[in-house]
Structure 1
Amino acid sequence: MALITTETKGVFVIAATPFEDDGALDRESIDRMVDFYYDKGADGLTILGMMGEAPKLTQAEAIEVTKRTIQRSGDKPVVVGVSAPGLAAIGELTKAVMDLGAAGVMVAPPSSLRTDDQIITYYRNVVDTVGTEVPVVLQDFPLSTGVQISSKTLGTIFENHASIVMLKHEDWPGLQKIADLRDAEAKGRRRTSILCGNAGVFLPEEMQRGADGAMTGFAYPEMMVDVVRLSNEGQPDVARDVFDAYLPLVRYEQQPGLGLAVRKYVLAKRGAIKSAAQRRPGAALNAAAIADVETLIERQTRKLELLN
């Protein structure tokens, strides 16, 4: 399996972790879900992310999910989230997943970091721990981690560590950050791949600012595939038309504490996974929320019919 690089582009879906109703790993649904994502046009997958319920897995389960996903993915690249409170755990899981054939690892900063120097030092320690031969994705998600990383600090990290090849951009608002990074590259700094998260809620604008694609888990990955493709083909207005058809459901999924339940419900409804269950603790949709989602899906279907 090829490693991710600074030139990596496209759509890497943040995969859910399927569970049985009793909380056990649903191994059969892992295979079904991987096939679903690639059938919808995904270029690669990212597993064990924040929306993949990684903290609820044991180390052995994390390795099992990785092995099964990589085997099912064939030659498609799989990035593995290895974020953890301590560097020892990051190093151990990184070695295990890279030995299995992962294309790289993703690391978010711990919430204890506050200053630029602390952030810079942390990623130096990450690279020292995993080794410079391992491609690293820096996950910049301040709404979740509470860690604010400026464009300048990101630039320093990228300049210091060639093995950090990708930014998972999830700042909000953060469009100017993409523009800043691309402007610095135009002035001579090395290139870094930028894939964007937040369920794709700003994807059309992110593509226009210079992003290379998406790395997020919206349950209609074909939307992200089409928006990225149309943006790259110089058709931003058509890309926005496609995006607009899905926007109400994207927006609904952004509710804190409910987003994963919505995503898993839709994935189960689409046949990608057997059950919408989350491993405890985890919220489930009540009848009113299910009715909301069903209405949004129905309206989305009608809008797409009009577009086509």
Structure 2
Amino acid sequence: MFKGSYVALITPMHDNGKVDYPALERLIEFHIDQGTHGIVAVGTTGESPTLPFDEHVEVVRQTVKMVDKKIPVMAGAGANSTAEAIFLSEQMAQVGVDGFLSVVPYYNKPKQAGMVAHFTAIADATDVPVVLYNVPGRTVADMQAGTVAELSRHKNIVGIKDATGDIDRLKQMQALTDENFVFLSGDDATSCEFLCQGGHGVISVTANIVPKAIADMCQAALDGDHLRCREIDKPINELHTALFVEPNPVLPKWALYKMGLIESPNLRLPMVLPELANQKHIEQLLKQHALLKG
């Protein structure tokens, strides 16, 4: 199920900070029309760190409703507390998500054995498929290939989003897991090579801005056309870098605002609007790709 282009969807917000559900619906329709294969709701890009539990669950609930089974919906469900991650997963399992994205516990820096115990407890507590998420640049803790292999033997742990940007790590994990385990890139800058080395798809921030290109790139790789995959990636490579000059999702939201897809670039504190120079740089890239409104 979890193959191709999954967008790490932003959570649009009004100027008063409340979630903008009409804008969310427009974004979902945009992605379905553009060929996005699936949606990740309220991951890091969806500002999960600053949405309280009830709001987090409601955004996922509304996303599932708006998608209406047209494409799969994976919900961000991680926490650095195992009990909180289980509670959040239990709440969201009731709204009909197709999978959970569960991040390596952040800040408290668990050992590899602690990661095994954490994810096993989560997977034991739900019937919804779990996708692991390793992003050491944010969590500090780094889930090693052997740990992934051990967890892959759990019947309810079906894949991993790897955001290390390390293609050798992908190869290590491939060698230790069976052919049914799914590998999704979480690093846009290296996602093309990840796909060409046997990855099954991406969970992409850049897909917020150019969803058709990311979907086409993934499909080319799945079809075995690596030349086409690289041809699609080359012109958007600068976007991959530019969108991460400031903490995600600051610049993706600014881009979508300038594209006219959301009415406000508002973020939850401590995230703030991008610096003027970065605003202008993103706007110039949008012009180059004929994406700027007006």
Residue 209 of structure 1 pairs with residue 197 of structure 2: yes
Aligned residue number for residue 255 of structure 2: 266
Structure 1: which 5+ runs fail to align?
Answer: 303-308
Aligned residue number for residue 152 of structure 1: 146
The answer on whether the counterparts of 2:253 and 2:265 sit within 8 Å (CA) in structure 1 is yes
Residue 51 of structure 1 pairs with residue 41 of structure 2: no
Q: Percent identity?
A: 23
Mapped to 2, the partners of 1:69 and 1:289 lie a distance apart of 30
* Aligned 1:137-216 pairs, distance under 5 A: 137-159=131-153, 161-172=154-165, 174-185=166-177, 189=178, 191-198=180-187, 200-216=188-204
Deviations 1:62-91 (A, max 9, x none): 121111100110112111111123233222
CA separation of 1:114 and 1:61: change in aligned 2, threshold 3 A = closer
Mapped to 1, the partners of 2:78 and 2:222 lie a distance apart of 31
Shift of the alpha carbon at 1:283? Answer: 2.0
* Moved >4 Å (runs of 4+): none
The answer on whether the counterparts of 1:10 and 1:225 sit within 8 Å (CA) in structure 2 is yes
Structure 2: which 5+ runs fail to align?
Answer: none
Aligned residue number for residue 111 of structure 2: 115
Aligned residue number for residue 120 of structure 2: 124
Shift of the alpha carbon at 1:284? Answer: 0.7
* Aligned 1:6-45 pairs, distance under 5 A: 8-45=2-39
Shift of the alpha carbon at 1:256? Answer: 4.4
Q: When the two structures are aligned, how many residues end up with a matched partner?
A: 287
CA separation of 1:290 and 1:256: change in aligned 2, threshold 3 A = closer
Deviations 1:4-55 (A, max 9, x none): 5xxx311111110110012111111111111111111111101111111112
Mapped to 2, the partners of 1:109 and 1:296 lie a distance apart of 33
The alignment's C-alpha RMSD in Å is: 1.8
Mapped to 2, the partners of 1:41 and 1:167 lie a distance apart of 22
Shift of the alpha carbon at 1:103? Answer: 0.6
The answer on whether the counterparts of 2:109 and 2:139 sit within 8 Å (CA) in structure 1 is no
Q: Give the residue type in structure 1 aligned to 2:221.
A: S
CA separation of 1:117 and 1:91: change in aligned 2, threshold 3 A = closer
Q: Report SS of the residue matched to 1:275.
A: coil
Q: Report SS of the residue matched to 1:202.
A: helix
Shift of the alpha carbon at 1:273? Answer: 1.8
Q: Give the residue type in structure 2 aligned to 1:22.
A: N
Deviations 1:136-192 (A, max 9, x none): 010011111111111111111112x110011111113x211222222334xxx3521
The answer on whether the counterparts of 2:243 and 2:282 sit within 8 Å (CA) in structure 1 is no
Q: Report SS of the residue matched to 2:45.
A: helix
Scaled by the length of structure 1, what TM-score is found? Answer: 0.87
Mapped to 2, the partners of 1:125 and 1:252 lie a distance apart of 38
**2:91 aligned residue (96, 115, 131):** 96
Aligned residue number for residue 286 of structure 1: 275
Residue 79 of structure 1 pairs with residue 74 of structure 2: yes
Mapped to 2, the partners of 1:59 and 1:242 lie a distance apart of 38
Mapped to 2, the partners of 1:58 and 1:232 lie a distance apart of 37
Shift of the alpha carbon at 1:57? Answer: 1.3
Residue 242 of structure 1 pairs with residue 232 of structure 2: yes
Q: Report SS of the residue matched to 1:222.
A: helix
Shift of the alpha carbon at 1:202? Answer: 0.9
The answer on whether the counterparts of 2:258 and 2:283 sit within 8 Å (CA) in structure 1 is no
Scaled by the length of structure 2, what TM-score is found? Answer: 0.91
Return 101-110 or 214-223, whichever deviates more.
214-223
**1:296 aligned residue (275, 278, 285):** 285
Q: Give the residue type in structure 1 aligned to 2:84.
A: A
Aligned residue number for residue 106 of structure 1: 101
Mapped to 2, the partners of 1:32 and 1:213 lie a distance apart of 24
The answer on whether the counterparts of 1:23 and 1:280 sit within 8 Å (CA) in structure 2 is no
The answer on whether the counterparts of 2:152 and 2:159 sit within 8 Å (CA) in structure 1 is no
